[in-house]
Structure formats: C-alpha cells, structure tokens
C-alpha cells in the first residue's frame, strides 16, 4: 500500500472506512470516531495546501488512528499518534500495519500534556470539552499543545464555539487561515444517548503560528 500513490480523495476515504471505531468507547474521554468521509476531506485539503507530503505530522488524541494513518497514506515522512487510551493505540498500530504504513507511523499511549515532539503539522480531533467529568476544557489543553509543537494546526471544534476557538488560538500566537465545515454524525454509543444518531455541526480551523 505504501508504494501505491493515492490520487483520489475517494480512494483515501475507502481505505479509511476500514479503520474500526473505539472498541469500548469511554465517555469520560469523549471518544467518538471521526467519520471516514470527514477525515478524508480534511486530510485531502491539508495535502493540497502542502501540509502533509514529506512533512512530520502529529495527531493528538489519535484514537484508532484514522487521521494519522490517512496522513501517512498521503505521503507524510513521519507520523506520530498520541492517545491516553492504550486500547485504541493497539488498534491504531494494527491498522497501520494492515494498510502498509507501519514504517512511517508511531503510536504512543500518553497524556498529550507530556508529549514534547516537534512537528510540521498537527492534525487533531480533540475532546470537545463538553463532559463535566474528565474532559471539561480539555480542548484548550489540546490547542495549547498543538500550537506549541507545530507551526500549522488543523483542529476540530463544535461550530458554536468557533468564535471562542479563534480568539483562543489568537491569544496563543496563531491565526486562522482556512475554515472547513462538516456535519459530524455520532451514533448511539453511550447509555445517555437517546437517539440512534445525532448530527453535530463542527468546524476545522487551519491555524498558522504567527
């Protein structure tokens, strides 16, 4: 797979569809899997803007590795995925091996606050910080770490927090250069979910460090 150049976004999406979601999602970590169609689109945009190929990529809160593996498939020279949950790291490692990008990917089970890797680009779908127990304001921790370790950041957030997120990144020395909008489908995976699935409007901001 690693030697087969991906020339179409649809091809990338088809591969990413094979990456499984969290095996036992933990509500206190707000573990939701990024849909393959959204992952492929944001990665393709990042690739088109020159932020992936031959770059070192870090995926903070990588989960089962969909963004990290996608970046590797698009020609990143090195990809590091970081997640506090060792169970998801094992899945990510297996999937990277399965699609042929094991040689350029490394997955680490660690709190993102402790990662000191430098990168060219961070691509992250952090906890939205909505759960009072465990993840409240966790999105800010991810934003701080991302802008600290890379000059370019792609970061997912609930659309209604867009203005706050922009101002927060601005306070950290970053500026928004592009915005991408998606409807994020979340299936019923937790006991408190009352519907089979819900749609959440999200925005992905491309941030450049000033």
Instruction: Read off φ and ψ for residue 144, nearest 5 degrees.
Output: -60, -45
Lowest mean pLDDT among 70-74, 94-98, 186-190: 186-190
Residue 134 confidence (pLDDT): 45
Per-residue confidence band for 86, with pLDDT thresholds at 50, 70 and 90 = very high
Residue 2 confidence (pLDDT): 46
**Cβ-based neighbour number of residue 86 at 10 Å:** 11
Read off the pLDDT of residues 127-186 as tens digits, 9 standing for 90 and up: 865 444 445 678 899 999 999 999 999 999 999 999 999 999 999 999 999 999 999 877
Say whether domain 28-209 belongs to CATH 3.40.50.150: yes
Write down the pTM of the prediction.
0.89
Residue 133 confidence (pLDDT): 45
Spell out where 56-151 has E strands. 56-60, 78-83, 105-109, 121-124
Domain boundaries of the chain, sorted by first residue? 28-209
């Amino acid at each position: 797979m690693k030697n087969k150049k991906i020339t179409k976004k649809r091809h990338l999406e088809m591969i990413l569809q094979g990456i499984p979601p969290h095996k036992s999602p933990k509500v206190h970590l707000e573990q939701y899997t990024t849909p393959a169609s959204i992952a492929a689109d944001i990665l393709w945009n990042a690739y088109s803007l020159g932020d992936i190929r031959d770059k070192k990529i870090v995926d903070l809160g990588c989960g089962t590795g969909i963004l990290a593996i996608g970046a590797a498939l698009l020609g990143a020279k090195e990809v590091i995925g970081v997640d506090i949950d060792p169970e998801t790291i094992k899945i990510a490692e297996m999937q990277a091996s399965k699609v042929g990008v094991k040689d350029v990917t490394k997955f680490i089970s660690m709190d993102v606050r402790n990662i000191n890797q430098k990168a060219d680009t961070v691509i992250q779908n952090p906890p939205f910080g909505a759960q009072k127990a465990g993840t409240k304001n966790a999105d800010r921790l991810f934003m701080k770490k991302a802008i600290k370790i890379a000059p370019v950041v792609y970061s997912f957030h609930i659309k209604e927090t867009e203005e706050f997120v922009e101002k927060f990144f601005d306070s950290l020395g970053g500026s928004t250069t592009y915005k991408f909008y998606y409807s994020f489908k979340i299936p019923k995976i937790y006991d408190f979910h009352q519907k089979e699935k819900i749609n959440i409007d999200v925005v992905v901001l491309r941030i450049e460090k000033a």
